[in-house]
Amino acid sequence: MVEIAGNCRRVMDAIADAAERSGRDPRRVRLLAATKTQPAEAVRAAVEAGVSLLGENYVQEAQAKKDLVGGNAEWHLIGHLQRNKARAAVGLFSLIQSLDSARLARILDREAQGQDRDVGVLVEVNLGGEASKTGVAEEGLVPLLREVSGLSRVRVRGLMVVPPLAADPEASRPYFRRLRELRDSVNELGLADVALEELSMGMTHDYHIAVAEGSTLVRVGTALFGPRSVPA
């Protein structure tokens, strides 16, 4: 657990350095610990080291860990959300980073109304056009946002992307840059209840590039916890 604390400090320092080198305020870039398959004690060590955002891929895994981890960290859903898990997700997560359809948005809105709360979301954009990944296609982004803007309890806070996997981190840069451009162009439309402030992009191998291209949330797992010991 001492190693996790040291890893957290190194990553936070690296994020701040990348922001400063890009002329950005380091306070505008937040570290989210991607905790998929990690035991509660490892996640707790990250929280104790100063990590305030935790991201889970599956609703059921967050349900099993959240009380065990404790603390005041925010929990985000960073994996695909199945519609039948929407009710639990609204109660568990402060931000759902993987909205990809109007149908899911309507379900989230209904569940949020039932729980008398707003639900924050990011729209996941599949910029690589990969059939194996979820996310709305680039050309579907604005139509989706126009539908979501009419919902009473869904609040779109930004965009998320997972670029195609590549050995060279620089291969991710065009996708990060394009997501930033999309964020800026959408904000110019002035859609109701759509304020795209967050850009969730960058993971262990390419987060320094994501920060340079405008990321506000970087999702880091391996650099904090080491390789996963349990298959995904």
Cβ neighbors of 94 (< 8 A, separation 6 or more) are 74, 75, 76, 120
- The average pLDDT across 146-175 equals 96
Listing DSSP states for the chain in one string gives -HHHHHHHHHHHHHHHHHHHHTT--GGG-EEEEE-TT--HHHHHHHHHTT--EEEES-HHHHHHHHHHH-SS-EEEE-SPPPGGGHHHHHHH-SEEEEE--HHHHHHHHHHHHHTTS-EEEEEEB-TT--TTS-SB-GGGHHHHHHHHTT-SSEEEEEEE--PPP-SSGGGGHHHHHHHHHHHHHHHTT--TTEEEEEEE---TTTHHHHHHTT-SEEEESHHHH-S-SS--
Span 77-103, pLDDT tens digits: 999 999 999 999 999 999 999 999 999
pLDDT at res. 2: 74
pLDDT, residue 229, reads: 59
115-134 mean pLDDT:
96
Q: What confidence score (pLDDT) does residue 193 get?
A: 80
Q: Is the pLDDT of residue 232 over 70?
A: no
Task: Evaluate if residue 111 carries a pLDDT over 90.
Answer: yes
Q: What pLDDT, in 10s, does the model give residues 44-58?
A: 999 999 999 999 999
* CA nearest to 163, candidates 183, 135, 191: 135
User: Where does the pLDDT of residue 170 fall: very low under 50, low under 70, confident under 90, or very high at 90 and above?
Assistant: very high
CA distance 77 to 121: 9
What was the pLDDT predicted at 131?
94
